[in-house]
Structure 1
Amino acid sequence: MSEIPVTAESSANDSIARFLFEQSDIRGEVVTLTDSYAEVLANNALPAPLQNLLGEFLAAAALLSSTLKFDGVITLQAQGDGPVPLIMAECNHHKGIRGIVRPPESGEFQLTDDTSLQGILGKGVLAITIDPDKGERYQGIVPLEAPTLAGCLEAYFTQSEQLPTRLWLMADGQRAGGLFLQALPKQLVADEEQNADQWQTVVTLANTVKPDELLYLDHSQKLYLLFNEFSIRLFEPAQLQFDCTCSETRSLHALAQLGRSELQEILTDQGHITIDCQFCNQHYRFEQAHIDALFSGDEPTLH
């Protein structure tokens, strides 16, 4: 048994860190969200089971963002025909996260901690969208067939990357956490059977993780507890924070897609146009002068 080498502080609060099994072809990521998760929940009045599921989506988005090798955003969006029609979370290359849940329209819908993903979202799909600042947008879609978000994401990796991949996601309304493991192409271990045995052993050990361990231990403690029979290198963590990308300018240019005539009808009827950001509850109000400037090509004066 050996300690885990760590290149920097491994505090778990609002951070994500990658790690490698030094004698095995396996990599991983570990994440814990605290204040950033709380800020997202502050903008979403949700019952506890939906708070927990949204936390899992946020942790998953952060874990998947580690695969980005360019500037951009990764978005997880689940849509279905169930009581909750939409859950979405995203993480950008600055490690800014945000997320929303479109709550049930009927207050009669009852949720418990045991309600499955299908019980919440119904029959639908999970879309994983990678949107680089430069280059083409990519989207992968998998059906919501597994009972958990982790299971749906594992199906996505099976279909898209064909590399064995496992995820563990948990949240309790205070903290959200996740563990990501992926088998790498053979480099260190040439023997195929030995390679498969190592992967199965690591997954079996990871399956023993308890909610309190995943959520409340710091990263080095967590990995040592699970994998102390392996030599692991834990790298410097990256800090995460709540980050909403909305702005007056973005909102105004989004309005332009409606066309001038439709916007003019709204202005005539209401005297102004308002846009509310569902992620941060910011309110933007636009007057006639803003719309005139938008379509004249002048830069509107914003406040």
Structure 2
Amino acid sequence: MTAPILVTGAAGFIGYHVVQRLLADGHQVVGVDSFTPYYDVSLKEARFGNLTPHNTFLGESLDLSDAQATRDLFQHHRFEKVIHLAAQPGVRFVDPQPYAASNLMGFMNMLEACRHGEVRHLVYASSSSVYGANRKLPFSEHDIADHPISLYAATKKANEMMAHSYASLFGLPATGLRFFTVYGPWGRPDMAVYKFTHAIAEGREIQVANAGQVWRDFTYVDDIVEGIVRLVERVPVPDPAWNADLPDPAISPAPHRVYNIGNDSPEEVNDLIALIENALGKKAKRVDVPLPPGDVLETRADVTDLRRDVGFAPSTTLEEGVKRFVAWYRGYHGA
């Protein structure tokens, strides 16, 4: 019997879509989530509820910062592939403790479990936020990214370093994925597309940073999922081209890689708002605010490596993606 694939954060936005895709492709999946109240838990429960009827899906409530519970999970199941998407999200600083517990201790427990469980490939979520203070665009995996401007970004950069050390010390193959501004059906209510849509639909004000002159590489969730499922099958190996005298951050003498997954086509937030207005048939009530600490003016993904290695790069337009999201929003909220 084929070993099940473990997906952590299975009740989260991206995790939910990844599990759906894996089930549709015929895989057995074990999905875990801790259902933290960072946003409305009922949305997470609704996602999870859509997964549980599948007879090839086993869902569990589990906090990965609990080392013993994580070890028990790997003792009960034999995983060859792990897709680790569980994390405390959000670039705006509030309370540091959840970031440390989930993104650092939870990730360390996952690395240890994968090491002792002899996992063949760990694919884990990093973030475009690791590029931090970098100004050179598009953001490339070959550029040094050592100046995070949010605690969230710092924990994600730490994840990359931790995974690389386990790849180097123990030969654990690991691939980090730097996601760029993911949106789509069943999305996160704190993210711009959902937040703006919900407020405009209800006639409430929206806060618009820097008069909307902010550019994001909005990436539709189905494109993110396609990149994930392709990269799961591409197990990294040591790269003999790595040069210790001129180290390239994108390659390694260890079985570890990082990839951007983004649309490579930044859109101004003003254009996003206009698309939402058109889809809803309502005008936004705008309030201009300064760019919040931890945010950057522009992101753009260089997806050269992704396209070369798996023959794919995201391509869903923001116009099409917003239409799909608003259609889902209307159905879910009865709006």
TM-score tier after normalising by the smaller chain length: under 0.3
Which has more helix, going by share of residues?
A: 2
Which has more strand, going by share of residues?
A: 1
Larger relative contact order, structure 1 or 2 (CA cutoff 8 Å, min sep 6): 1
Structure with larger Rg: 1
